[in-house]
Structure 1
């Protein structure tokens, strides 16, 4: 069975549904009642739980958007779409999300378009020997292409994915798109593909589609290097180690860099990961040599 976290996008009925609204305090009841009545919406209420009837989720989100709520309120108010003809039961709880989540979803339609259409662009950045012009390898850089053909940069892609709980989906299609595009462009050098460990539960299951993509597009696993996204802060090293072990043993790939610390010094080290390939250390400026030699993890990076 395919994992829904990385294979399904949110789908909503446009109208004629009920929406369950949970407010965090008693003093929220009166303003919510007032706004629903201003929109001529029918509703029932039981203590601090509203059921707005025969409406649509986006309309309810728009009502709250006009209420000038604080971030904390948007985080603590919860909405749950309900089919009009289905009784409320425990199965509905998987749709219970914060107001902030639903606001992000409806304001992120350009991002949803990119995911629905796999509208991703891969740019292969060549790492070149400055003396011989020989290409060492390629870094795969992913961008989103909106419906109007404008580009969505990677930081925006992943910020929206996090806020809309679609990181699993985005990370999967990014990996598979890079593999497909590398095959179509007949790239035979190593390619470096970023991945986010927090978007993987069990590597044996979550990375199955990546393994299948390598086989489908006949890409040599020895030429594929998966690296942890430099901006990702790692909390669960045990989980990360499980993922790395899978990549090494199952896909026979390597891990190029890891953001072991979330510090400026370590990020500087990661920025120079390609410089050290192209230039001998003795050719680097003296201040840079001193910085790298004295930084934490410098010895590991320069081996």
Structure 2
């Protein structure tokens, strides 16, 4: 791993855990085709959830709070196909706010919105940094008593202190659109704990390529953590997840 002589800013997206969706607010929806819109209107009517059809903006507005938010997520998932959920665009706004042009960068797919709204447990885990690293030795085939490297493996910790395995964590983060924050925290925690355990061998750190859209920026905090730990750059091996 080589140092870059060029200075870059850190990645605010990778280092900032997004806030939970508020209990009360409004959801704006734009549909790929009128057929999808009609299916949602029918489902909302049957569920007795109030909505407004904004003809001028060609979108649907739904006021959601408490149980209504959960109810909408369930009926949308059952009424629409996976493709419709992906192609329907939504924007969540607080109750008293109307969207401005600058808000639309936050728009996302309906499927991501539903998955994010079901990710409070993961957002708590990230904001409280309730993760740890297990190290798995990689040995020489010629002599298994000799360690070649240590592979860093992420584990979450729930509120009762029990381990949460990475499959559940990464699957939820990917579907909810918060893989950037999870991957960045996992990398820096692995480096910190390798330093605490005084690991001298090569350190294999897994990362998802979808979590690094600009290596010079997204990996800056990781490189900083390596420097702060005093681990030689040549000891770090980034292992790209096959998935």
Check whether TM > 0.5: yes
Relative to 1, partners in 2 of residues 1:116 and 1:36: Cα closer, same or farther, differing over 3 Å? farther
Please say which of residues 30-39 and 190-199 is displaced more in the overlay.
Answer: 30-39
SS for the counterpart of 1:110 is helix
1:75 & 1:157 partners in 2: Cα distance? 21
Relative to 1, partners in 2 of residues 1:203 and 1:56: Cα closer, same or farther, differing over 3 Å? same
Please say which of residues 163-172 and 36-45 is displaced more in the overlay.
Answer: 36-45
**1:137 aligned to 2:149?**
yes
SS for the counterpart of 2:14 is coil
SS for the counterpart of 1:5 is helix
**1:11 aligned to 2:19?**
yes
Relative to 1, partners in 2 of residues 1:190 and 1:97: Cα closer, same or farther, differing over 3 Å? same
**1:95 aligned to 2:106?**
yes
SS for the counterpart of 1:18 is strand
1:30 & 1:163 partners in 2: Cα distance? 23
TM-score by length of 1: 0.66
Residue 49 (structure 1) aligns with: 59
1:183 & 1:117 partners in 2: Cα distance? 21
Asked if the contact 2:31/2:89 (under 8 Å) is kept, the reply is yes
Asked if the contact 2:195/2:231 (under 8 Å) is kept, the reply is yes
Q: CA RMSD in A?
A: 2.8
Residue 226 (structure 2) aligns with: 214
Question: Gapped runs of 5+ residues in structure 2?
Answer: 1-8
Relative to 1, partners in 2 of residues 1:2 and 1:134: Cα closer, same or farther, differing over 3 Å? closer
Asked if the contact 2:73/2:114 (under 8 Å) is kept, the reply is no
Aligned ranges 1:1-303 → 2 under 5 Å: 2-12=10-20, 14-27=22-35, 28-29=37-38, 31-32=40-41, 35=44, 38-39=47-48, 41=50, 43-46=52-55, 48-53=58-63, 55-56=64-65, 59-60=68-69, 62-66=71-75, 68-69=78-79, 70-129=81-140, 131=143, 133-229=145-241, 231-232=242-243
1:104 & 1:64 partners in 2: Cα distance? 9
Tell me the alpha carbon deviations over residues 224-258 of structure 1, each in whole angstroms, 9 at most, x when there is no partner: 222222x14xxxxxxxxxxxxxxxxxxxxxxxxxx
Is the radius of gyration larger for structure 1 or structure 2? 1
**Structure 1 residue 40, shift from structure 2 partner:** 5.5
Question: Gapped runs of 5+ residues in structure 1?
Answer: 233-303
Please identify which structure carries the higher strand content.
2
TM-score by length of 2: 0.80
Flag the structure with more relative contact order, 1 or 2, with Cα contacts below 8 A and sequence separation at least 6. 2
